[in-house]
Amino acid sequence: MNKLSTKPNPDFPLKSWEDLDRLLQANFKFSKLTQSVSIDIADYDMTVEEVKNEAIKAGYKVDVGSKKITFY
- Please, are residues 37 and 24 in contact by the beta-carbon 8 Å criterion? yes
Rounded to two decimals, the pTM is: 0.80
The percent of residues above 90 in pLDDT, for the chain, comes to: 71
- What's the pLDDT at 12? 82
- The one-character DSSP state at 66 is S
User: Residue 43: what residue type?
Assistant: D
Interval 25-49: pLDDT, tens: 999 987 777 799 999 999 999 999 9
